[in-house]
Amino acid sequence: MVAADFFGTEKINKILWKLAPPIMLAQLIQALYNIIDSFFVGRYSDSSLTALSIIYPIQLLMIAFAVGTGVGINTVMAAKLGLGKSKEADEYAGVGTPLAIIMWLLFAVIGWFILPAYARMSTGSADVIRDVVVYGRIVCVFSIGLFLESIWTKVLQSKGDMKTPMFAQILGAITNIILDPLLIFGMLGLPEMGITGAAIATVCGQIVAACIVFKKGFRRLPKKEVYSHHVTRIFRLGVPSILMQSAYTFYILGLNLILSTFSDQAVTALGLYYKWQTFFFIPLGAMQTCIVPIISYNYATRNIERCKKTLTSSVCFGFMLMAVGMLCFNLFPSQMLQVFTSDALVIEIGSYGFHFIGISFLPMVTSLIFPVFFQAVGYSLKSSFLTVFRTVILFVPLGYLFSRFGLNWFWLTFIVTEVIATTAGCIFYRQFLTDEYSKEKI
């Protein structure tokens, strides 16, 4: 189906039901891979499990730049396709590959040198520091697959192709899942590599996924003259997404540093929450991915009503499915933690914290979807502000404030942050509806 018929006239719910399942299935496999990755590492060594929690912000930062740049390409391509300018859309896609290579080189070099200092800042345990450096250097230096796959995936998604990226991510995750136990424990004649094996399995999965999307996602490099303009446009639209993901890096790092003043077990408990969060946030992540090309296309064609319907449908869908996550975090917290660890203190700390985090899931739906909506309609400043406001201005300062009253009070940070961030998003949305462009009828 042509994009004009699909994004412009098809029922919103039908579009979401067509686009979302492949993304959700791919993210389900990705979440399963994250959980299995931590499962095997946790069975191998407690210090390695803590190391994964500490290195997680660095991995998020790489994903932020990879996916955020891809979202910028996705957004501008959807707008160009909406205006019938397919040649220009392909030019933007062609710029993506060199951008991916440049980002990979930057993270490879910087990551190699900063990791020892970063590890010492996060923990005093020599074993954990060693594991952080070993794992982190491998996933940074060999992250080329992550950056290329993210760019080529977004190129395909801008044209409504969700199946190819789905198969790529599934096969990449399966590669990781198979290699994890083989390399960590040294099975089938392979050497026992511990956390080094987990890192190798991760980058192998990323490279497999990149190879699959290469054929359909790669575009020829455009003329040099267009690079300056196109790169500026890509990052102007992609910066909100980069900020959104990058802010996660800094707020998780900030929360880790706050919790490290209590114990390494508190840091591990927070890290295990983020492993499970990935699994339960599949519906929300799918909605965020799906609504960008729909809203961007219809906003470019001045169909504001469809933009509003897309937002409403995605929020309602997110609420229904995130309610399941809220129930699980409140009914089975200790069982979820015991999947990864038998440390009684980690289970005690995490079980208490999971109750508060689970309640925050509902307001978190809107606090995360509003920035994506404003990004899709080109309100990059508002989108960026909402992201920075939530993760930098609210999360870390509130976390520090509540932690002064004790570890149990710290977990209240999640509920208070999401409620305030959602309120700010609602205020900006009301302003958007009163804008002259938004009032126009087609």
Count of domains in the chain?
1
What radius of gyration do the chain's Cα atoms show?
21
Instruction: Determine the structural domain holding residue 219 and report its residue range.
Output: 3-439
Mapped onto helix, strand or coil, the DSSP state of residue 409 is helix
- Contact (Cβ atoms closer than 8 angstroms) between residue 362 and residue 323: yes
CA–CA separation, 19 and 206 (whole Å): 22
Helices (H), 281-393: 282-300, 304-331, 333-338, 344-359, 361-376, 380-388
**Number of helices and strands in the chain (H, E):** 20, 0
Annotate 294-311 with DSSP letters as a single string.
HHHHHHHTT-HHHHHHHH
Q: What is the pLDDT along the chain (442 residues), one digit of tens a residue?
A: 445 556 666 677 677 777 777 667 766 766 666 677 778 888 888 888 888 888 888 888 898 888 888 888 888 887 777 677 778 777 778 888 889 999 999 999 998 999 999 888 888 888 889 999 999 999 999 999 999 998 888 888 877 777 888 888 888 888 988 999 999 998 888 889 989 999 999 999 999 999 999 888 777 777 777 777 788 878 877 777 787 677 777 888 889 889 988 988 898 899 889 888 877 777 777 777 778 778 888 887 777 888 888 888 888 888 888 898 899 999 999 999 998 888 899 999 999 999 999 999 999 999 989 988 888 888 878 888 898 899 889 999 999 999 999 999 999 999 999 999 999 999 999 888 887 665 555 4
The whole-number pLDDT of residue 288 equals 77
The whole-number pLDDT of residue 130 equals 92
The whole-number pLDDT of residue 113 equals 92
Phi, psi of 10 (to 5 degrees): -65, 150
Record the pTM: 0.69
Minimal CA–CA distance to 362: which of 416, 313, 418, 310?
A: 418
The whole-number pLDDT of residue 442 equals 45
